[in-house]
Amino acid sequence: MKVEVKLGFFVLGTALAFAFLIVTFGEIPLFRPKTKTYYAYFDDVGGLSIGAEVRVAGIRAGTVRDLILEEGRVKVVFDVDERVKIYKDARAYIGTLGLMGDRYLGVVPGTPVSGELAEDEEVKATEKIADTDRLVRELTKTAESFREVAESLKDVLEENREDLREALNNLRELTEILREITEENRENLKKLIDQMASLTENLNRTLPEAVASIDRLADRLSQIAGENREDIRRLVANLRSVSEDLREDLPVLVRNLNELSGNLTQILKENREDIRASVRNLAEITERLDKILAKIESGEGTIGKLVHDEELYESVTKGAKLFGEAGEVITETEVYLGFGGEVYSGGDSKGYVSLRIQPERRTYYLLEVVGDSRGRVYTEQLIDGQEIVKKEFRPEFTLQIAKNFFMWGYRYLTIRAGLKESTGGVGFDFIPSRRIKLYTDIWDVGRKDRPGEENLKPLLQIGLQLKLRGPFYTRFGGDDLLNDRLRGVFFGAGLEFSEDHLKYLLGGLGLPFISP
C-alpha cells in the first residue's frame, strides 16, 4: 500500500474515534434517551453548576440544564430520563459527591398514590443545603463564647481563694467526724452495704434498658441542638451574664457555705449518740424486712400462699373473667315489653302480652301470652261411642328464638321458630325501615279448631305493622290465607315499651328501677 493510503486510513480511524467520544460523552444528544424537564427553587445552591448530575433515589438519571436567579431565589431547571417517574410529593435536595465536594441535585421520587408529576412542573418540596463553612463559623463562635465563660469563672475563683480554702478546711473537719461515726457503726453499715449490693444487682438488670433510653434521648437532643442553633447562642449569652453575676455573688455564697459547714459540724458533735441510735434502728428495720420478704418468698403466711398458690390465682382469674362476661352480657341485653289486641273479620278477637329479650344485635327471644276468643277445640268420646265436640278457653303461649340477618343500612330479615300459640310454628319478618315491618307466620299443622271442617290447612297470616309515635303501633293484614272458606282480614293495635320507656314510666311512678 502507498503511504498516502495508509495515512488516509489512519486519519479516518482517528476521526471516527473522536466522533464516538463526542457522541458518547459530549453534549450532542444523538443516541441518547429522551428526557423530561422539571424545575425547583432553592434559597442557596451551594456551588451547584450547569451540567451537574441529577440522581433520582441515588441513581444517575439526568443533568442540570440551567440555573436562573429569580427574586432572590435560584431556579434549578433539570432534565430526567423519561423512563424515570417523578410524583407530586417528590422532594429535591443538593448533595455532595466524594471528598472533592462536587455538587449534585438529588430527587426523592415520592409515592405513586399522590399521582405522577407532569413535565415542566415544579418539584415544590426542597431541603436546605448543609453548608459546612457556615457550620464551622457557628461552632467557632460558640467555642469563643465558652472560652469567655471559662475565663470569667477563673477570675471569680482567684478572687475568692481564701474563702474557698476555709470552706475546704471545714469540710475536712466534717469528713473526720463522719469517719469516726463510720468506725463506730461498722457492722450496721456493713448490713446497709449488703442491701445496697442487692439493689445494685437489680439495677444491673434494668440499667441496660435505661442506658438505651438515654442514648435515644441523646440522639434526640443532638437533633434538637442542630435545629435550635439560635436558641443555643442565646443560652451562651445568658451563661456569660450569669458568670458576671456570680463574680459579685460568689463571695457571699462562700461565706454562707462556711457558716453552714460550721453549723453542721457542731450539730454532729452535739447529736452523735442520736445519730448512732438512728443507724442501729435502720439496720434492725432492714433485717426485719429481709425476714418478712424471705417468708413471702418461701410461701409462708397468708400473703406467701396468695403469691405462690397458682391454683388460687387461676381460680380468682377465671372468676373475675366470668363476672366480667356476665356483666357485659347484662349491660348489652335489651328488654322490650308490649301488649296489644287484634280484631278479625269473622267476629273473633285476640289479646296478647309480649316480652322480647335481645342479648345481642343478631339474636332475640320472644315470649307471648295470648288470649284467643276462638278457643281450643277438641273431641271427647262417650261410652256409647259418640263424640262430643268441646271448646275451651285458656291462655296460649308463644316461645320463639329469632335470628336477624342484616342486609344494608337498617334493613334486615328475621327468621323465627318455636311455639306459636301453644303449637309449632315458624315466622319471617322483613324490616325495610325503622317504622315498617312486614311479617308472616304459619302454625298449627293438623288443626281442629273448626267443628265440621275437615282437612284444614295450617294457619297462615301475613301482615304489615306500622310504628306510629313512641311505643304505639298498628297492624293489619290477611288471616288463614290457605283455607278458602275461612280466609279473612284483621286489624290490631298495641304498645311496645323499650328499656328507656320503662325507666321513664317507673321513675314517674316513684318505683325503684336498677339499670343493668
Cβ(142)–Cβ(229) under 8 Å?
no
Cβ(420)–Cβ(441) under 8 Å?
yes
* Domain 332-508, classified CATH 2.40.160, yes or no: yes
**Interhelix angle for 132-159 vs 161-184, to 10°?**
80
- Give the up-direction half-sphere exposure of residue 199: CA atoms within 13 A in the CB hemisphere: 7
**C-alpha span between 348 and 363 (Å, rounded):** 33
* 156 membership: H or E segment, kind and range: helix 132-159
Residue 87: is it exposed, middle or buried by C-beta count within 10 angstroms (0-12/13-18/19+)?
middle
Q: What is the pLDDT along the chain (516 residues), one digit of tens a residue?
A: 677 777 788 888 888 887 776 655 555 555 556 889 999 999 988 889 998 999 999 899 999 999 999 989 999 999 999 899 999 999 999 988 866 668 999 999 999 999 999 999 999 999 887 655 566 567 777 878 778 877 877 787 777 878 878 888 888 888 888 888 878 888 877 777 887 787 777 767 776 776 676 677 667 666 766 777 777 777 767 767 766 766 776 677 667 767 766 776 777 677 777 777 776 776 676 677 667 667 666 766 655 655 556 665 566 466 556 655 655 655 678 888 898 988 888 778 888 899 999 888 889 999 898 887 666 665 655 666 666 666 666 788 899 999 999 887 678 899 999 988 888 899 999 999 888 999 999 988 877 666 666 777 888 889 999 988 878 899 999 988 888 877 889 989 998 888 776 666 665 555 444 444
**C-alpha span between 366 and 354 (Å, rounded):** 7
Predicted TM-score (pTM) of this structure = 0.37
